[in-house]
């Protein structure tokens, strides 16, 4: 019995799926609610968001309408896949911002951060997060 290699999602399909997830989270919509609006299961939405299943053009247009964005939104920052003189160009790494905003924590932090009106408080919060990020795991940040 031979084992077939696991299919790796296309980078553009992964990018489009991540943008669907980011927008869905920004409008506080569950996978189930988006699936219901499209007449599909939340499991299918999960597969779209991971890039495991490609989203067809008409379905992407439906998703754009439901999420209140133009179809082009899903391709912003997408890898180009250009072919250079030396063959396939190296695919760019996924955007940190897109990755961050496609998590519920990223959306929650962003929403809370933009509600902070005092620029000094925002700066101190950034300093705190940078300090925590520089601290080795298991060690308390110096304060």
- pLDDT at 9 (0 to 100): 84
When computed from its CA atoms, the radius of gyration of the chain, rounded to whole angstroms, is 19
The CATH fold assigned to 11-77+96-102 is 434 Repressor (Amino-terminal Domain) (1.10.260)
User: Contact at 8 Å (CB) between 29 and 67?
Assistant: yes
**Long-range contacts (CB closer than 8 Å, 24 or more residues apart) made by 30-37:** 34/63, 34/66, 34/67, 37/66
Domain locations in the chain?
A: 11-77+96-102
pTM greater than 0.75? no
pLDDT band per the 50, 70, 90 thresholds, residue 31:
very high
- 37-41, 50-54, 75-79, range with the lowest pLDDT: 75-79
Q: Is 2 a residue whose pLDDT tops 80?
A: no
Q: Is 93 a residue whose pLDDT tops 80?
A: no
């Amino acid at each position: 019995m031979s084992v077939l290699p696991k299919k790796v999602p296309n980078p553009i399909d992964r990018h489009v799926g991540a943008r669907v997830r980011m927008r869905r989270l920004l409008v506080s919509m569950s996978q189930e609610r988006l699936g219901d609006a499209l007449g599909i299961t939340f499991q299918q939405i999960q597969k779209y968001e991971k890039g495991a299943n490609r989203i067809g053009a008409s379905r992407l247009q439906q998703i754009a309408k439901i999420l209140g964005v133009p179809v082009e939104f899903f391709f912003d920052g997408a890898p180009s896949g250009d072919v250079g003189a030396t063959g396939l160009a190296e695919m760019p790494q996924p955007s940190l911002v897109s990755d961050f905003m496609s998590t519920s924590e990223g959306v929650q932090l962003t929403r809370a951060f933009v509600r902070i009106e005092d620029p000094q408080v925002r700066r101190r919060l950034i300093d705190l997060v940078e300090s925590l990020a520089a601290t080795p795991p298991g060690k308390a940040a110096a304060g």
